[in-house]
Amino acid sequence: MAHPLEGVGVALITPFNEQHEVDFEAYGRLLDFTSTGGVDYFVVQGTTGETSTTSAKEKTDLLKYTKEHNPKNLPIVYGLGGNNTKAVLETIKATDLSGVTAILSVCPYYNKPPQAGLIAHFTAIADASPVPVLLYNVPGRTVISLQIPTIVELAKHPNIIGIKDASTIENAQELAKRCPEDFLLLSGDDNLVTTSVSIGFRGVISVIANAFPKEFGELTWAALNGDFDKAAEIQKRFIDFDTLLYTESNPVGIKKCLEIKGICSSEVRLPLVKASDALGVKLEKAMNAEGFWQ
């Protein structure tokens, strides 16, 4: 039986209007577009949702809205982490997690804790959470990385069910080799989905799926179903495009793609700034070249 978080989870952006308020009408369009496009579950207020600049109320309002505007009743993963363990535990206690399949908890950033500190941090979160926990390892943003022995140790906790790993393919190989078979391995790098699935990963939490859910769903499920020729063919179409998305930081690029598609504005909150005109031209040219218009 497939795991409810197998396949493509879309790391939802947070649309803003020109006043930089959350645009719930646009958010509703995004939920419709991605769910009908073929994603398997929603990831609400992951780091792609600009969680560094959304307030506590906005976070809970976005979660509530997702629960109430879920056209296909897809599973929901909610981003709930930070670098202050006590504050994370208080937020877990204060948040209505009914209807949430799991929380996604990022490595503590800036503090640079040792591996023992990471084990203690995530153990406390898993002990407190009423729903299962997915670890999120993204050293490109947090500086520190969950080392393989640390992940293997945390995988023993009954409430830690998997990891979104956005580190290296070498790490992915070690995870596939050393983690329990029932520990859910999810790619955090859109460009490595085909490769990751080939060694035992069971899907991706994707930025690209915000604007291209159909193509990325086809790619991921082709790989999961063993059709690596088809998966590789689609993956190659995204390689250069994926690089473009991050040249001015995430989610700047993907928001520009969504604006081109008429789904939401490309507005972001400071200290991020909107995509430059030059990047917009390059993204639109790439979308035309690859046929990314569904």
Tell me the C-alpha to C-alpha distance, in Å, between residue 255 and each of 244, 275, 279, 283: 12, 8, 12, 11
Q: How far apart are CA 239 and CA 244, in angstroms?
A: 9
Angle between helix 24-37 and 213-224 (nearest 10): 40
Quick check: helix, strand or coil at residue 26? helix
Residues annotated within the binding site for pyruvate are 48, 205
Pull the structure tokens for residue 100.
Answer: 């949430």
Say if CB 46 and CB 80 are below 8 A apart: no
Residue 188 and residue 53: Cα distance in Å, rounded? 21
